[in-house]
Amino acid sequence: MPDPVRVVPIVAPNPGPFTLEGTNTWIVGENPALVIDPGPALESHVKAVHARAGRIEAILLTHHHADHDFAARALSEASGALVLAFDPRNGERRLQDGSSVTAGSVRLIAVHTPGHTNDHAAFLEPESRALFTGDAVLGRGTSVIDPPEGDLELYVRSLRRMLALEPEALHPGHGPVVPDARAKLLEYLAHRELRERQVLAALEEGPQSTEALVRRIYRDYPKDLHAAAGRTVLAHLLKLANDGRVAREGAEPEARFVLLHQRATTEG
Ligand SMILES: [Zn+2]
């Protein structure tokens, strides 16, 4: 048996409602190491990551959100390591689906997992089957799917794809390691299916605005979550519209959504 791969999280000091304890920067392997998501542009964090990582072969980005990628330039300049991303925007080298990135005896395989963002990637370490999930799966709570950047249909497909990889533990971009990857991915899929059923059930009673759907579906949740919930409900509505099951009536902010089979029975 080869020695287990070193996997160390460094939590960035950017806690918040969406970042949980802060962004997890993952150091994989040793001398040289790979770094996944250098995190926000905080000097103390860049220093902590560099000190712990030692020699860095490459810096990999799960996606272009500030809390994951803003430190890429500083860490790259400090370490001399290349930055790799699915959608290069700041001089990064392009990753493809299935690309292997090697550092010493450690290898990571890039898996395109769009949904949270279109450029989102997860990284599989094939020996331990650890999967680094960025913002596609969090250690706690659910991932934000905020249209139009977020796409729920692609996201659900990506969850199924990650499940098919048969990962062991999930190493998320925020929150603790998830030891049972399969259970968490199934929970995430079930959660989205439940929300879709709730949206459809509410629309059975007639056309409704996103706000009305949120008030109904999230009535047991604190009001300060309702704005974020509205984005999630909109993501469901856009997916259902794309599936031909729901249509939008009117323009924002007065837009309402209607079930298509209901319209067929009342109008024709
Ligand atoms: Zn993100």
pLDDT at 263 over 80: no
Per-position DSSP letters for 91-130, written without gaps between them: SPEEP-TT-EEEETTEEEEEEE--SSSTT-EEEEETTTTE
C-alpha 183 – ligand 1 centre gap (Å): 22
Closest CA to 124 of 58, 189, 185, 169: 169
Map out the domains of the chain with their CATH numbers: 7-179 (3.60.15.10), 191-267 (1.10.10.10)
Mean pLDDT of the chain: 94
Whether 122 and 68 have beta carbons less than 8 Å apart is answered as no
C-alpha 62 – ligand 1 centre gap (Å): 8
Phi, psi of 242 (to 5 degrees): -65, -30
Q: What is the pLDDT of residue 268?
A: 40
C-alpha 53 – ligand 1 centre gap (Å): 23
Burial 80-100, CB ≥16 within 10 A → b, else e: ebebbbbeeeeebeebeeebe
- Using a pLDDT cut of 70, give the percent of the chain over it: 97
172-194 tens-digit pLDDT: 999 999 999 999 999 999 999 99
C-alpha 90 – ligand 1 centre gap (Å): 17
pLDDT at 267 over 50: no
Q: What is the DSSP-derived secondary structure letter of residue 223?
A: G
Read off the pLDDT of each residue in 223-231 and give the average, rounded to a whole number.
Answer: 90
Per-position DSSP letters for 126-195, written without gaps between them: TTTTEEEEETTS-SSS-----TTT--HHHHHHHHHHHHHT--SSEEESBS--BS-HHHHHHHHHHHHHHH
pLDDT band for position 17 (50/70/90)?
Answer: confident
CA distances from 154 to 14, 86, 87, 97, 184 (A): 28, 16, 17, 15, 18
| Coil, helix or strand at residue 18 | coil
133-173 tens-digit pLDDT: 999 999 999 999 999 999 999 999 999 999 999 999 999 99
6: left (phi over 0), alpha (psi -120 to 50) or beta: beta
Per-position DSSP letters for 30-44, written without gaps between them: SSSEEEE---SS-HH
C-alpha 135 – ligand 1 centre gap (Å): 5
C-alpha 187 – ligand 1 centre gap (Å): 20
